[in-house]
Structure 1
Amino acid sequence: MAVELERRSAFMVERLEVAEHGSGHKNIDDDGRAKRTGIHYTRTLLTASAHIITAVIGSGVLSLAWAIAQLGWVAGPAVLLVFAAITWFTSTLLADCYRSPDPITGKRNYTYMDVVRAHLGGAKVQFCGLAQYGNLIGITIGYTITGSISMAAVQRSDCFHANGHGAKCLASNYGYMVIFASIQILLSQIPNFHKLWWLSIVAAVMSFAYSSIGLGLSIARIAERPPDVRTSLTGETVGVDVSATEKVWRTFQSLGDIAFAYAYSTVLIEIQDTLRSSPPENQVMKKASLIGVSTTTIFYVLCGCLGYAAFGNAAPGNFLTGFGFYDPFWLVDVGNVCIAIHLIGAYQVFCQPIFQFVESRCRNRWPGCGFVVNEYALTLPIAGEYSINLFRVVWRTCYVVVTAVVAMIFPFFNDFLGLIGACAFWPLTVYFPIEMYIAQAQIPRRSTSWALLKTLSFGCLLVSLVAVVGAIQGLAQDVGHYRPFRTQA
């Protein structure tokens, strides 16, 4: 043990000396890549926490009141806390796998797939890529849907304020999807995660703002004591609110919604790769994960429980835009604007790994193609000199356009989020972190630790499967009643 500690200390001292005193290597990190330039430890912790909060507090928070309404006062908060604990625990395991084989002195792995390749290899790398990038694409589509819903809600709120609550206020989400996509086309030219920190901080502030507004509106509604609001220990009542079959399906769907609300493992490694090498990245990432998950869990429990108390078993799928509570209208408008701004930033957090994956593959395959590899300096009036790559401009623009078109064709909110969350939760949040930790720590088969970790993984697999079934059933119902490109009332 003493020899191991001495080896790690020597390695850390060498890295610090190279970073701080090496004249020829002051801009080079310990692996030969460009140096990660966090100004101070607190800033790297702050930006990592902001990335996590931006990724975690997303559109998932808007569906939690509905999820609690399906599960009730007992199971609802309990499931939220269990998902939070599992997410935090497995995120600490994943943070230790960033370097391999040693979590402090090992080789850096820049993406989730790289980490899986280093620790597990084989077909599991392809399975990881399919799960991660499929989930990221789904999230960007979901955020396009939710962002447009929030923008359209501002139009409807203003209409109700001007013409009364009895007015027939129609609003089409499709034009707002085009606006959302146009903004994303511009922001998608931000080269990488390292340049994205300011957008994540803005988005994190917006998430706190609209969550707080939602809480305030819920408290105001609770104070009014609406006579039609009913809550119970078990949620929606069979035979009164729903049939027995609908109760089962909706319970399954609510698990998927809660799983989606905690989805950030898909970008954890990419976030960790932005941290400075000193102090060790895994230590900073664990602290950032604790800050991010605990902060968001507090908001989730408050939003879910107060939203359920405000609207009862009839809680809407989107508790800020779908419940028709339009006074004070200006506050509702501010909340929906904050949602839209947050999702604009969150979209970039989730699509950056997709961009980096495709672009690195193309650079490796066509290293001599100027269209793919050449960077051109462009001087902008405020931003100064900015690097432009033609392939990056074309490819990222096409990606944003395609996700917007898919969102227009399938503009379903709750069930879409539930399906994404259910499909991604087990493989990316639970299975791979546990398997890689077992391999890295060399935990003996059939030991107590091995058995507990495997039991946790199997239990989460069962939860994911029932959530997938529920989400698919809900989507099937949505598709059966849906007419594309129709203005929504």
Structure 2
Amino acid sequence: MVGTTDEEFAVSYKFSDEGEFDDDGRPKRTGTVWTASAHIITAIIGSGVLSLAWGTAQLGWIGGLATLVIFSGITLYTSNLLADCYRSSDPVNGKRNSTYMEQVQANLGRLNCIACGIVQYANLSGMVIGYTITASISMVAVHKSNCFHRKGHEASCKFSSNPYMIGLGIFEIFLSQIPNFHKLTWLSTVAAIMSFGYASIGIGLALARIISGHGGTTTLTGVEVGIDVSASDKIFRVFRALGDIAFAYSFSQVLVEIQDTIKSPPAENKVMKKANTIAVFTTTIFYMMCGCFGYAAFGNSAPGNMLTGFGFYEPFWLVDLANIFIVIHLVGAYQVFAQPVYSKMESWASEKWPNSMFVKAEYPIRVGTKTVMSFNLLRLTWRTLFVVVITTLAMAMPFFNDILALLGSIGFWPLTVYFPVRMYIAKNKIKRWSLRWLMLQLLSLVCLLVSLAAACGSIQGVGEALQTSKPFQFKV
């Protein structure tokens, strides 16, 4: 334990024996394969699952199904490589690397660590901005649906999303006081259940449309050039669909922080690999059902959000319920993606001002004799400021989902593939130009090309959005 005296170390070691602390002096980790799976599912299944019908429509039956299967395999494989790097040297007794940046620092050095940090935290911040926008759109959709139901289908029902973003931001300020991932399990569990809820409603509505005989026209290769789109539009749509599907499987930004919640024994990497398998397998089943049933229901004219394709009419209550589920899920996912950002800032402040009461002191809130929670002044001010900035950016840039797609396409390759592959090669001393080394490098190269293609499609989307966007005046 760095910075402690022998006496302090002996005391902490004694507590560790008593089960209060882990081998690194931090409070005992209590996570299991199921809590880790809940965190991963909350992170990995975003509302983007509802865009998979559109993605499948661009790629067709062959390309859509193949892309879903291939990227699920790639994500699972590279996530397991990352799990093996949690501890330095020995997977049981080696030093813990509690964050993604610590892993990169331990295996690849300082420069790679800085590059990783820039990409990771830009990506995480982008995710919470995107989630703020998407959640507000779902809230407006409920308002809009009820407006049509009361006033008739010809009524003009357009509402600003700004009040909903502000309301969501206020609620997230309260949730942001949850101190760390260890205390976030209940929220992740609720969010994971909600994601299954709205995905199941979307699948059910799509299946009902197919059974009723109102399904759309589908093809093996997706939207057809000269009929549905121009040749250039087809190319850009395919690029964006590849990026959407690749990014839909990406959760490496928070994987290490999730793994750091798992108790040991058994070894954390073994538990994490089981959690990865459960989460990715479950996610792939839902992704394929949403993509395939959605495509069969709407054909080559599949909408960007599968739920909007069913209209705002009947059964309006069921679509409302799905949108409410989306909001609850995104509220939880917001905190899952924000926690590493919170933790990084607070860890830096603790190292910078180790004796500051503002940084270190915890003030308990009691009900009777029981402490229900505690607050910290740094946590209160810094996290509140973060949420306020995120909410303001979401209101200023309602087209940020296009920028988020760009951030996602840029972040997918380094975070999900490049760094896990590089660290695995370095840690296991895989011989240069060996067959395994060549295969790992080929995997990295292919994923880089996919990221570049997705970035091209995203840039086109951002360019189109900039022409029509009006900051702080976003109406749905």
The normalised TM-score by structure 2 is 0.94
Q: Distance between the aligned counterparts of 1:112 and 1:23, measured in 2? A: 25
Q: Distance between the aligned counterparts of 2:392 and 2:276, measured in 1? A: 34
8 A contact 2:364–2:371 mirrored in 1: no
Q: How many residues align?
A: 466
1:122, CA displacement in angstroms? 2.7
Q: Distance between the aligned counterparts of 2:322 and 2:438, measured in 1? A: 46
* Aligned partner of 1:443 among 430, 453, 469: 430
SS in structure 1 of the partner of residue 366 of structure 2: strand
1:444, CA displacement in angstroms? 0.4
- 1:203-352 aligned at under 5 Å gives the runs 203-226=191-214, 229-321=216-308, 324-352=311-339
Q: Distance between the aligned counterparts of 1:420 and 1:304, measured in 2? A: 23
Question: Is 1:148–2:141 an aligned residue pair?
Answer: no
Unaligned runs of 5+ in 1: 1-17, 39-43
1:380, CA displacement in angstroms? 5.0
Q: Distance between the aligned counterparts of 1:112 and 1:382, measured in 2? A: 39
- 1:466-481 aligned at under 5 Å gives the runs 466-481=453-468
8 A contact 2:16–2:25 mirrored in 1: no
Percent of aligned pairs sharing the same letter? 58
Question: Is 1:421–2:408 an aligned residue pair?
Answer: yes
Post-superposition Cα deviations, 1:153-185, rounded to whole Å, max 9, x if no partner, equal 111111122223232211221111111111111
Question: Is 1:111–2:104 an aligned residue pair?
Answer: no
8 A contact 1:65–1:319 mirrored in 2: yes
Unaligned runs of 5+ in 2: 1-10
Post-superposition Cα deviations, 1:330-377, rounded to whole Å, max 9, x if no partner, equal 111111000000000011001000000001001111223222222111
- Structure 1 stretch displaced more, 75-84 or 364-373: 364-373
Q: Distance between the aligned counterparts of 1:120 and 1:289, measured in 2? A: 24
The normalised TM-score by structure 1 is 0.91
SS in structure 2 of the partner of residue 385 of structure 1: strand
Aligned to 1:385: 372
Aligned to 1:34: 27
8 A contact 1:380–1:386 mirrored in 2: no
Post-superposition Cα deviations, 1:363-418, rounded to whole Å, max 9, x if no partner, equal 11122322222211122589843221111111101111111111112223753442
Q: Distance between the aligned counterparts of 2:188 and 2:101, measured in 1? A: 23
Please tell me the residue identity of whatever aligns with 1:218. A
Please tell me the residue identity of whatever aligns with 2:229. V
1:287, CA displacement in angstroms? 0.2
Question: Is 1:367–2:354 an aligned residue pair?
Answer: yes
1:325, CA displacement in angstroms? 5.0
8 A contact 1:136–1:266 mirrored in 2: yes
- 1:390-409 aligned at under 5 Å gives the runs 390-409=377-396
Q: For the structure 1 residues 307 and 378, does the alpha-carbon distance in structure 2 shift closer, same or farther, using more than 3 Å as the test?
A: same
Q: Distance between the aligned counterparts of 1:452 and 1:194, measured in 2? A: 37
Aligned to 2:6: none
- 1:69-218 aligned at under 5 Å gives the runs 69-218=57-206
1:420, CA displacement in angstroms? 2.9
SS in structure 2 of the partner of residue 378 of structure 1: strand
Q: Distance between the aligned counterparts of 1:183 and 1:148, measured in 2? A: 13
What is the RMSD of the two structures over their aligned residues, measured on CA atoms?
2.0
Q: Distance between the aligned counterparts of 1:412 and 1:77, measured in 2? A: 29
